[in-house]
Structure 1
């Protein structure tokens, strides 16, 4: 299928939030986990989402419309990054929480997890929070081209057990395209 992704709306403050009728799938993850790279890979464009060597580049909710499928990917600010003020981090946290608790068309959250490191407390807290809200979690292990395959398989098993999922988290690489078609299939399932 010939899909396109376009940035439709950028939201920096709670008062800017609005209701959309289209299904939404949010993208969440620690700063520097590769959310922007994933968006760009899916879009087939290198600079749709801004990428930086400094973590924490995404400071807003970015609504990307997937055409012709008709749903939104909503890129949330990265979490766990300390090189900004506590006030700024608190502002992002409140914006994300308000979005997650009020977006009526939120179908699932893709939680991006770095495939090179073991489960982190902050990732465990996010997945636990989402599950307590009854929001489906789609775990995706990013940078899957970096670790040894046995280490990647071990981490997939750990996350499968933690999340009590029936399938392994998807291994994804923005660099090689590994997992891209499978991710499109999963997004399509949830966006219906």
Structure 2
């Protein structure tokens, strides 16, 4: 399963619904506030250092960027506009586009929300989780940059966030600590994503044929 994620490669970028690929197969979307570590997380999960561009400039991802894992499975990098200085009309466009994407996209199988473990559950994070939960989709929170905290602080923050997510969304959202630097939690996250995309069965099928 993890080997299949390593096959991820850039497929396309979409600025509007017309540019999205065919609504078939499965896809997992990644959301996160600017500089939460979303690109680094995608790179760590796929073991591809330059798959998703890592930028110090907030809000650099300005399209839905698709990475193909298999012909039937994609990862989707959503634009992170937590505090990026973009025009209001562009923000309005993205809000409408993302809302429609979550409401109507049949291929969407789950959402990963990337949050800096030192600043979790901001308004944007809760909004994105809300989109998934309203649609009945599973969501998974990655508390990134965990290497910036000691183990005790990691555990304390994880427990606090888990409690708050449970209160807000019930059992619809799972959460873990994660670090693209130390690779903490990478295998755990891969298991969640691979399960949503059915990569385990695809991997077993390939092994059987081989």
TM-score, with structure 2 as normaliser: 0.82
Structure 1 residue 130: Cα displacement: 2.3
1:84 partner SS: coil
Q: Is the 8 A contact 1:160 1:166 kept in 2?
A: no
Structure 1 residue 118: Cα displacement: 4.3
Matched, 1:191 2:191: no
Aligned with 1:171 (options 168, 177, 192): 177
Larger Rg, first or second structure (1 or 2) = 2
Match of 2:42 in 1: 39
Match of 1:95 in 2: 97
Structure 1 residue 128: Cα displacement: 2.7
RMSD of the TM alignment (CA)? 2.0
Q: 1:104 to 1:167 in 2, by over 3 A?
A: closer
Q: 1:159 to 1:4 in 2, by over 3 A?
A: same
> Hey, what's the Cα distance between the residues in 2 that align with 1:15 and 1:29?
24
1:169 partner SS: strand
Question: Which runs of 5 or more structure 2 residues have no equivalent in the other structure?
Answer: 199-210
Match of 2:187 in 1: 181
Alignment of 1:91-170 (within 5 A): 91-164=93-166, 165=171, 169-170=175-176
> Hey, what's the Cα distance between the residues in 2 that align with 1:19 and 1:81?
31
Q: Is the 8 A contact 1:157 1:168 kept in 2?
A: no
Q: 1:167 to 1:58 in 2, by over 3 A?
A: closer
Q: 1:176 to 1:108 in 2, by over 3 A?
A: same
Structure 1 residue 82: Cα displacement: 3.4
Match of 1:49 in 2: 52
Aligned with 1:15 (options 8, 11, 18): 18
> Hey, what's the Cα distance between the residues in 2 that align with 1:17 and 1:168?
28
Query: Which consecutive aligned stretches of 4+ in structure 1 deviate over 4 angstroms post-superposition?
Result: none
User: Is the helix fraction higher in 1 or 2?
Assistant: 2
Q: Is the 8 A contact 1:61 1:75 kept in 2?
A: yes
Q: Is the 8 A contact 1:141 1:169 kept in 2?
A: yes
